[in-house]
Structure 1
Amino acid sequence: MRAQTLKTYQWLHTWSGIVAGFALFIAFLAGALTMFEDEIGRWERPQARHVQPSMDDVDRLAAAVLTAHPLAATRFGIVWPSAAMPDPTAYWFERGRWHFAALDRRDASGRGAPSLMPLDTPRLASFVNQLHYALALPPFGTYLMGAVSIAFGFAMLSGLVVHWPRMAKDIFALRPGKNRKRFWQDAHNALGLFALPYYAMVAVTGGFMCLATVIAFAFNIAFGHQFAAALPAMWSPNALAAPAEQARSDSAPLSAAQLLAAARREVPDLEPEWITFVDYGAPKGTAELWGNVPRALGTRGAVTLRLNSGIVTGGQYAGARDANHAVGSAVYGLHFGTYGGLALRCVYFVLGLCGAAMVFTGNLMWLEARRKRHMAVQPLAARNVARATVGVCIGTCVGLAVAFAGARCLPGIGANRVFGIVLAASLVHCAWRAPVLAARDLLIVASVACAGIVLADVALGASDLLESIARHDWALLAIDVAAVAAACVFGYVARIAHVRATRGAATGVWARRTA
């Protein structure tokens, strides 16, 4: 390959990585946590920790929502109780915003009419999910992450072209020592190469999902503005040809158990995830039962039934859906690993952390390549990238750790607000502090915050922990164990940063004084 062409690829790889890197770090780290979103949701709500999944709770919650909010009858949904999240959650759109609520279980007797416990304060689990797909910046954050996914694809392709000769030679090399640039390059190349298929899949599926609206808009223009009229049918579970319109039924709506039984007569292996009620109580009311069908790449599907009779009127599920739903379901399944079980989720979790580490090591490699060994004052660009790397990457870790602790100590404060304040404070701290000292400080805070997660859980729910042990509820215990492990890792890296600050070279962006 010509030297000029190779130089162009290297420039493309460097700057696409730098520009998209910070957003990618946040998305990868939050994406790793979303693999256990339901478990986090149960962990942050003590009243939901040891509830037994019951379909009766779906009926009780629906009755409570309709009693307190009659307008929600037009359309509202309920997340189906499961082992990972046994306490169902209702959601509906009213007066310009979304509302969320669960059953109020403070009455231990369970007698009397069911009542609601509002969950309108942004919850930790949902916030982590928003952070993954939109950087918690809706609505434009989703489009931003779509652009970042495209930039990530260019970075991967150009990086493979530029570094392939070296990677093919040193594929298993990881050489620590005085040559830090070579060490970070070995780590960056190993993380990028061994998980390359996963990263390529993430870039393609992430870009597709985030930019679906933009793609639809482009198709609408290309097809003379006729495409928009077809969109509702394309995304509806009734897109397949449905039976003839059924007669009106004035009977009472079926229970959740009866609706599930009717849906499973159509799809025997359906594992429900949520149910959407449309025109609840009306003669032609319907229920859309969404869930997963095992042994398929695109597991997600839905069955639509008459709410008052259980008659199936449409559906989209594995083995019986159109091309649009097949592609969309496959893209979603690949991105979130729904086609596998717990083992695959753990693999995705590790790969997500590796993706964040790849971005971090790429920035460190860039900084080491531009280090002026015999200059007391380093280039301004290098200093700013070092500050941004510490502030965004380590600050994100601190923000998430504090948000987890805050979810137990101060549940009334939204997780988005806690994270935003901590991240902003981290960036301000890095703006006036030498990068290596700022990194040490933030790593110490991250270690303390992770330890605080466990301490808060013990102090506020020791009986819950004991009950989790008695029930062998390892999913809840694993969150506290992971927090302890993270506290140890952050503490160890903080010690390394302290040694670098006190005993390292006096020049470079990681010196005690950089300007």
Structure 2
Amino acid sequence: MNKRNYNVFFHLHTVSGIVISVALYIIFFAGAFALIKDEITAWEKGDTVQLEQALDVDYDKITAVIKEEGYNLEGRNIRLVMPDVKQEVLVILSGSKYEDASDEDKQGAFFYINTINYTRSDYYTFYSFGELIYRLHFFSQIPKIGTYLAGFVALFFLFAITTGIIVHWKKIISNFYVFRPKAKFKTIWTDAHTALGVIGLPFQFVYAVTSCFLCLSILVLIPGNFIYNNNQKKLSEDLRPMTKDYPITYKTHTEFSLNPFMEQTLEKWETFSPSQVYIRNYGDSNMKFQVDGMVSTQQKFIGHGRIVYNVPTNDVLSIKDPLKSNYIEAVEMTVRKLHFGDFGGYWLKLVYFIMAFITCFVIISGVLIWLEARNKKNVPEKRRKYNEKVGHIYLAICLSMYPITALSMIVSKLIPRSLDASRLTILYCVFFGGWLLLSIFFRFKRDNYFTNKYTLLIGSILGFLIPIVNGISSGNWFWITFQNGQTAIFLIDAFWIVLSTISTLIILKMNKKILDKN
């Protein structure tokens, strides 16, 4: 590559990386915790997780509970998302299709039903910190444009990865084995940036591509509308067959049971696990019971299947064998599996978690390289001060996420159940308010070493307090949850103990280096 092209790609890599660095750090840091969002919810509630019992859903009982809550189900579509460690089914009701239905019945609704005791709760009844951090990783808190903003950050990240490979191509292998801890700061950060960047490269590339797909999928629909002559219903059914709807007949059908359809489905395919259930045209003579799910990843990586029953006649209307691939659905399922890492259990999530934190370090080291490269005598004093301010702001915002996350988890555990309805407000004030205050404090401290050290110190102290607070407030000491097989709750406590220990070791190492220099 000639020098001109090298400089072009180098500056493109630097500029694209710096522009998105803060947003990208937030996405990866929050995304790491989003991997265990359901476990965080289980930890906050402190209830015993009986997942096997929770997955044994009584569909007739669920519809009965919905009716008892005052909902008229006639003519509605019902979507049920199967429970996880939270032990709750997400219920999404459409408005009634009947023309003579009341205005109230034509309104949709969504809520949860606990599949252990079959009680109803609203989305905001128990707002979890896991939900907050999950939504932060695609900027859901920013109205309307948040998800698209996250998608474009992912797109620029893909651009930064590509230009980074081009720039470092000849030195990737040689520099991977080089680490000079006694060299000047720019060299240390460059070595770390290159080595860890190469280690995390496959993970980062996968996340950049899958994030673009998930956040910017609306861009796929634009050319699709032209192909389908603006027939969005047909386009939607072809791209996502599970959304196919059926006409209503206005003839009632009231004598039916839903559980036998699920039993028949589970007998049909070995290792099949339902993920979503759709009940179309409830109480109508054209009522359908649809089951979407997956066979185990050991049997087939993308083993997505579907079966649709005609409820009045008990016949199978259509079937999609999970052992036979459908190209369109396989693409979407592959993207989702790779993005959420839900095909390899907790060990795969651990790998994803480590890779997410490595990426956070790569982002921070990239910012520090940029700062050191511009901290030269030939750079005008005014520009150097401006660059320093940018660095202070970037690091203050990014590094403050660690202690405020730990603090928010402690607060989320200590909020009394009598204040469940106010959890969202409390958690938003603590997390976003505390994050803002910490960012302002470290910004005006104007010392990157101080920011780095004390965010790690505060975060590690609060992190060690998390399992203690959990044990005192709920009796779920980590050794007890381990003995009782409460993996989800134990995992959160163990994670914070390990993370806080690592943070403490880093602080001690930092102090030793300062003493050695003195």
Distance in 2 between the 1:214 and 1:92 partners?
28
Q: Secondary structure at the match of 1:268?
A: coil
**Superposed CA offset, 1:201-224 (max 9, x none):** 22112111211112212432x437
Q: Which residue number in structure 2 is paired with residue 419 of structure 1?
A: 431
Please state whether the residue corresponding to 1:187 is helix, strand or coil: helix
Please state whether the residue corresponding to 1:7 is helix, strand or coil. helix
The residue number in structure 2 matching 1:325 is 329
Counterpart in the other structure of 1:429: 441
Query: By how many angstroms is 1:17 displaced?
Result: 0.9
Structure 1 pair 168/413, CA: closer, same or farther in 2 (3 Å)? Answer: same
Structure 1 stretches lacking a partner, 5+ long: 506-515
In structure 1, the residue matched to 2:261 is: 259
- The reply on whether 1:361 has 2:371 as its aligned counterpart is no
Q: Indicate the residue corresponding to 1:6 in structure 2.
A: 6
Question: 368, 379, 388: which is aligned to 2:384?
Answer: 379
Task: Please show how residues 226-237 of structure 1 align to structure 2 within 5 Å.
Answer: 226=230, 228-237=232-241
Cα gap change, 1:326/1:50 in structure 2, threshold over 3 Å: closer, same or farther? closer
1:498 Cα offset (Å): 6.9
- Aligned pair partner of 1:80 in 64, 82, 96: 82
Partner of 2:317: helix, strand, or coil?
A: strand
Structure 2 distance, partners of 1:426, 1:193, is 32
Task: Report the CA distance between 1:175 and its aligned residue.
Answer: 1.7
User: In structure 2, do the counterparts of structure 1 residues 452 and 58 end up closer, same or farther at CA, with 3 Å as the change threshold?
Assistant: farther
Alignment partner, residue 513 of structure 1: none
* Alignment root-mean-square deviation, CA: 3.5
**CA separation in 2, counterparts of 1:336 and 1:188?**
25
Aligned mates of 2:157, 2:473 — CA distance in 1: 42
Distance 2:511 2:382 in 1: 21
> Could you say which residue in structure 2 is the equivalent of 1:103?
114
Kept after mapping to 2: 8 A contact 1:290/1:302: yes
C-alpha distance in structure 2 between counterparts of 1:380 and 1:465, whole Å: 48
- Is this contact kept in 2: 1:235–1:325, CA < 8 A? yes
Matched, 1:164 2:174: no
Query: Contact 1:240–1:321 (CA<8 Å) still a contact in 2?
Result: no
Identify if the C-alpha distance between structure 1 residues 18 and 272 changes in structure 2 by more than 3 Å, giving closer, same or farther.
same
Residue 478 (structure 1) aligns with = 491
Q: Which moved more, 1:95-104 or 1:1-10?
A: 95-104
Asked if 1 retains the 8 angstrom alpha-carbon contact of 2:237 and 2:244, the reply is no
Task: Assess, with a 3 A threshold, how the Cα gap between structure 1 residues 456 and 10 changes in structure 2: closer, same or farther.
Answer: same
Letter in 1 for 2:493: D
Q: Is the 8 A contact 1:104 1:116 kept in 2?
A: no
1:34 equivalent in structure 2: 34
Distance change >3 Å, CA 194–CA 47, structure 1 → 2: closer
Give the conservation status (yes or no) of the 8 Å contact 2:82–2:274: yes
AA in 2 matched with 1:369: A
Aligned residues: 491
**Residue in 2 that maps onto 1:141:** 146
Deviation string 1:385-424 (CA, Å, 9 cap, x unpaired) is 3223322221222332223222211254224443222222
Q: 1:288 to 1:45 in 2, by over 3 A?
A: farther
- Greater shift after overlay, 478-487 or 35-44? 35-44
For residue 8 of structure 1, report the CA deviation from its aligned partner. Answer: 0.6
CA distance in 2, matches of 1:392, 1:71: 49
Letter in 2 for 1:454: P
- What is the match of residue 404 of structure 1? 409
The verdict on how the C-alpha distance between 1:367 and 1:315 changes in structure 2, with shifts beyond 3 A counting, is: farther
Q: Using the alignment, how far apart are the partners of 1:225 and 1:15 within structure 2?
A: 40
Looking at structure 2, the residues matched to 229 and 497 of structure 1 have their Cα atoms a distance apart, in angstroms, of: 59
| Distance verdict in 2 for CA 1:307–1:409, change over 3 Å | farther
In the other structure, the counterpart of 2:396 is 391
SS in 1 for 2:276: strand
SS at match of 1:47: coil
2:293 alignment partner, SS class = strand
Is 1:151 paired with 2:190?
Answer: no
Question: Aligned to 1:290, what secondary structure does the other structure show?
Answer: strand
Residue 42 (structure 1) shift: 1.8
The question of 1:278 aligning with 2:291 is answered no
* CA distances 1:124-174 after superposition (whole Å, capped 9, x unpaired): 233332222335435322111211111111111111111122222222222
TM-score, normalisation: structure 2: 0.83
SS of 1:32's equivalent in the other structure is: helix
Retained in 2: the 8 A contact 1:298–1:334?
Answer: no
TM-score (ref. length: structure 1): 0.83
Provide closer, same or farther for how the CA distance between residues 102 and 158 of structure 1 changes in structure 2, counting only shifts above 3 A.
Answer: same
SS of aligned partner of 1:231: helix
What CA distance in whole angstroms lies between the structure 2 residues aligned with 1:373 and 1:504? 23
**Does the Cα contact within 8 Å between 1:444 and 1:490 map onto a contact in 2?**
yes
How far 1:439 moved relative to its partner? 3.6
Equivalences for residues 67-216 of structure 1 within 5 A: 67-70=68-71, 74-82=76-84, 84-92=85-93, 99-103=110-114, 114-120=118-124, 121-134=126-139, 136-216=141-221
Quick one: distance in 1 between partners of 2:5 and 2:44?
52
Cα distance, 1:7 vs structure 2 = 0.5
Q: Is the 8 A contact 1:167 1:189 kept in 2?
A: yes
Counterpart Cα distance in 2 of 1:381 and 1:93 = 54
Q: Which moved more, 1:474-483 or 1:85-94?
A: 85-94
Residues 253, 283 of structure 2: 8 Å contact kept: no
Percent identity for Structure 1 against Structure 2: 21
